[in-house]
Chains A and B, each alone.
Chain A
Amino acid sequence: MKDHAPEGLTCWDVTDRASEYLDDHLPFLAKVRVGLHLASCPYCRTYVKQINLVSSAVRSLPKLYPLPLNRLRLRRQFAAQKGLPL
């Protein structure tokens, strides 16, 4: 904690901006300020890493597929729409 300047961003500020930081959506100066805070705060680095990890893991959650009967109906509808033999 001793590395933080009291007048700088707080950990709370940084956690609030973690998603915008990761998505590169912060204005330049805000990004620099968050980056400086992260360089000196291992707790916020941990937090940002965890948000990043969760965001990546969500992308790879197990896939869901249509029920077999629904898939068959869709294939038939697609073939009918395109004038393909059923």
Chain B
Amino acid sequence: MNSKIVTCTESISHSPAISQRSQSVTSSALGKNEDRLLARLKRGDEGAFDELVNQHHSALIRMAMGYVADREVAEEVVQDTWMAVIENLNRFEGRSSLRTWICGILIHKAKDRGVREKRHSTFSALESYDDENDEAIDPSRFKQSGKWAGHWVFPPQPWDDQTPEKLLASQQAVNAMQRAIEALPATLKEVLILRDVEGVDAKEVCEMLTITETNLYVRLHRARERVRDAVETYLEGRKMAM
């Protein structure tokens, strides 16, 4: 069993600790590392700014790609975001984490740019495509009737000894994941990037996107499932070719 599952199982008896941790994140907003980084940024430390850019640039580009037509425009939107960060850094008071603040600026600018590109109708189409009544996983993989309705007909095959490191060592697997992420509608992409790539706390993501936690998990799971499905297709294709 992997470490995350073990952690979840162990934490059943530690839920108060979890809620305390959430509260402390909410009240101080900035972690110690971010606090130090912010102090260096405010002092004008150019190395700190490079560090900040290196930390968040990937996530910002991937998130912007959900709203605008192509990578080139996404680069422009992210560049504008960094410019806004530089301009407003002295006014940032730490009410949210630095990361949340930067992602908030990006989302605002990317949406704005998407609308200006007259892609608004496309976004509506994508959002309706991401119908919350749709199933995350293909229903045909489960029995539809009888005593065992809702149980697997086509269960997932174990990925042998795959680990994140092994998966990432395969350029084809990485490409499959990147393509799956790129193909996600903006609503799914933003939650996947914020939660899994940037590691933003669930409550913060909800505040940033003005969605409920139930909504967040419906979207997050749908996004993770689409990436899992892409990896499954890649691994099964590789097995059949062998």
Contacts and interface: CB of A to CB of B under 8 A. Distances in A.
A77 B4 CA distance: 42
Contact of A24 (B8, B79, B162, B227): B8
Interface residues of A, number: 59
Interface string B1-34: 1101101110110010010000000000000000
B192 to A, nearest CB: 7
Interface string A6-45: 1000111101101111111100100110010010000111
B164 A50 contact: no
B224 A15 contact: no
Interface in B60-99: 61-62, 75, 78-79, 82-83, 86-87, 89
Interface of B is mostly: helix
B129 interface: no
A22 B4 contact: yes
Contact of A74 (B83, B135, B137, B157): B83
Contact of A10 (B136, B142, B221, B227): B142
B174 A1 contact: no
B157 A46 contact: yes
Contacts of A62: 58, 174
Given A65-B57, A74-B79, A59 B163 contact: no
Interface of A: 1, 4, 6, 10-13, 15-16, 18-25, 28, 31-32, 35, 38, 43-67, 70-71, 73-75, 77-79, 81-84
B148 A1 contact: yes
B2 A49 contact: yes
A35 B9 contact: yes
Contacts of B199: 59
> Size class of B's contact patch?
35 or more
Counting chain B CB atoms within 10 Å of each CB, which of A44, A49, A55, A59 scores highest? A55
Contacts of A50: 156, 159, 228, 231-232
B177 A61 contact: yes
Contact of A19 (B18, B53, B178, B221): B221
A11 B149 CA distance: 9
Counting chain A CB atoms within 10 Å of each CB, which of B152, B163, B165, B177 scores highest? B152
Q: What are the nearest 10 A-B pairs in CB distance?
A: A10-B150, A82-B44, A43-B155, A19-B221, A64-B58, A57-B164, A56-B164, A12-B150, A54-B228, A11-B151
23 contacts: A4-B151, A13-B150, A19-B220, A24-B7, A28-B12, A46-B158, A48-B5, A49-B159, A51-B221, A51-B224, A53-B2, A54-B231, A57-B167, A58-B197, A58-B227, A59-B196, A62-B58, A65-B54, A66-B78, A67-B75, A70-B75, A75-B46, A79-B44
A53 B137 CA distance: 17
